[in-house]
Amino acid sequence: MTLSLYNTLTRRIEPFEPLAPPRVTLYTCGPTVWNFAHIGNFRTFLFEDLLRRYLEYSGYDVYHIMNLTDVDDRTIKAAAAAGKRLGEHTAPFVQAFFEDRDYLRIKPAHAYPRATESVPAMIRLVEQLLDRGVAYKGEDGSIYFAIAKFPTYGRLSRLDTRELKIGARVTSDEYAKDDPRDFALWKKVDGVDEQVGAAWEAPFGRGRPGWHLECSAMSLEQIGRCCHAETLDIHAGGVDLIFPHHEDEIAQSEAATGRPFARFWLHGEFLNVRGTKMSKRFGNFLTARDLREQGVDAAAVRLLFWQTHYRKALDFTDEALAAAGAGVKRLGEFQERLRGAGGAGRGVGELAKLATKFETDFRAALDDDLNAPRACGALFEFVHEANGALDRKAGGAAAVRAALDGAMGVLDILPTAKAADPALERWIAERIAARDKARKSKDFKEADWVRAELRAKGVEIEDTPGGTKWRLV
């Protein structure tokens, strides 16, 4: 099989082939840094991480661009409310996003263009659109895109534009669903913009960019630099961005270049918390740092997300997270067992056959529009069967280790290793020695007491032929 992906543009699952293999250009809409990103945002970022990792696993050379929206209606409003300049307000949230990204083990993008640092590219794009006659200056001094002059407007979101209100305009970045009106490319400066430092000089008037313009300018500038291209292989984001954001990106980009903006459009579904759309009003609003502060292992979050297909709504519950944590623990135990398994043994071919079958099933699942739930099912079946073979003293554990390592390079759901400080390690060694002494003296009550002591400190022990092994959990 070859990788096939669901393309929102065509509403079909299509075989994926990049324009210039093995290079794949991938653009993903990043966070708007007016506040902390919530786990719904990170569900999208994690699905994009799975996509990138699997492309790389499949042998592609991925160039990943993720923008940081540090100027738009929300960031300006938030900065003004806080009495800060725009950069002063957004900087901590940019840093928080990177910390949350690292906590959740999301691979860093190759480029993180910031809107405020890309204004010259945005001004050039507006000039191109004005020159081509598809943009105009409104009586309010802002520059608008004339969607009536872009006949294919609406094909991504399947909007019916037959009742288009010619000349009707919308100035806000986010506007009503099914409201196809001319949208602002460049907004004339106002007092709040000047107050927070969100204003730039341009040939067509002092102002600041509209949100939709930013992504087009940044993505086109980046792929032009890296790949001398004007078309992205893949553009990804959440379903909430299909309209108006991605629809408007297509219009302004293709009107400027005369070429397709992106060949594949991938969109991840929403995340609900305890069966309800996440909201502070319902008391179920969660950020990535909430999970980190609660001591939740990122591997459990990743596994929970992989157990629902990216195009289906995911319900985040305490019970589901606990079950994912148990699955992660099982994988960690399996990895530990493999480390202790040598290469010798009976039935050397048995484990190698299991590894080959798993790799085939794993690829088949992810080749089918990133079917992570099926891939996880194949993984846990593999663990079950390989454990049985190891019980039978089968050899060839190296093939199993290699297959597991390959899958973890994509899913990355092994337990996070917890480091112990030297004093704790000495204490653990002393308590294990005391337990060994108690067991030799057949003082099993004392041995159980020491085990409970260790467990209270988050230390899990396992008695093996080679001695007692321990790990922090």
CATH of the domain at 375: 1.20.120
End residue of a domain, out of 221, 244, 273: 273
Amino acid at 134: V
pTM for this one? 0.88
Q: Is residue 303 part of a domain?
A: no
Q: Is residue 177 part of a domain?
A: yes
Tell me: do 240 and 341 sit in the same domain: no
Peptide bond preceding 203: is omega within 30 degrees of 0, i.e. cis?
A: no
> Going by DSSP bridges, is the β-strand pair 169-170/207-209 parallel, antiparallel, or unpaired?
unpaired
The Cα 193–Cα 85 span in angstroms is 10
Q: Which domain holds residue 143?
A: 18-273
Q: Is residue 301 part of a domain?
A: no
Torsion of CA 69, 73, 79, 85, to 10 degrees: 70
Tell me: do 30 and 141 sit in the same domain: yes
Q: Is residue 306 part of a domain?
A: no
Helix/strand/coil for 111: strand
Using only C-alpha atoms, what is the Rg of the chain? 27
Residue-level pLDDT at 274:
79
For 345, the enclosing helix (H) or strand (E) is: none
Q: Is residue 300 part of a domain?
A: no
Ordered per-residue pLDDT tens for the chain, 473 residues:
699 999 999 999 999 999 999 999 999 999 999 999 999 999 999 999 999 999 999 999 999 999 999 999 999 999 999 999 999 999 999 999 999 999 999 999 999 999 999 999 999 999 999 999 999 999 999 999 999 999 999 999 998 776 667 668 998 988 877 777 899 999 999 999 999 999 999 999 999 999 999 999 999 999 999 999 999 999 999 999 999 999 999 999 999 999 999 999 999 999 998 777 776 666 678 899 999 999 999 999 999 999 999 999 999 999 999 999 999 999 999 999 998 776 544 445 899 999 999 999 999 999 999 999 999 999 999 999 999 999 988 888 899 999 999 999 999 999 997 766 778 888 888 899 899 888 888 888 899 999 999 988 888 888 876 678 787 76
Residue-level pLDDT at 179:
76
Tell me: do 319 and 441 sit in the same domain: no
Residue-level pLDDT at 468:
85
Tell me: do 22 and 51 sit in the same domain: yes
> Going by DSSP bridges, is the β-strand pair 232-238/23-28 parallel, antiparallel, or unpaired?
parallel
Residue-level pLDDT at 282:
63
Tell me: do 206 and 112 sit in the same domain: yes
Tell me: do 40 and 89 sit in the same domain: yes
Residues 6+ apart with CB under 8 A from 172: 73
Residue 85, token pair as written in the block: 């300049």
Tell me: do 117 and 85 sit in the same domain: yes
Residue-level pLDDT at 346:
46
Peptide bond preceding 18: is omega within 30 degrees of 0, i.e. cis?
A: no
Tell me: do 398 and 432 sit in the same domain: no
Among 281, 286, 312, residue whose Cα is nearest residue 301: 286
Q: What are phi and psi of 342, to 5 degrees?
A: -80, 180
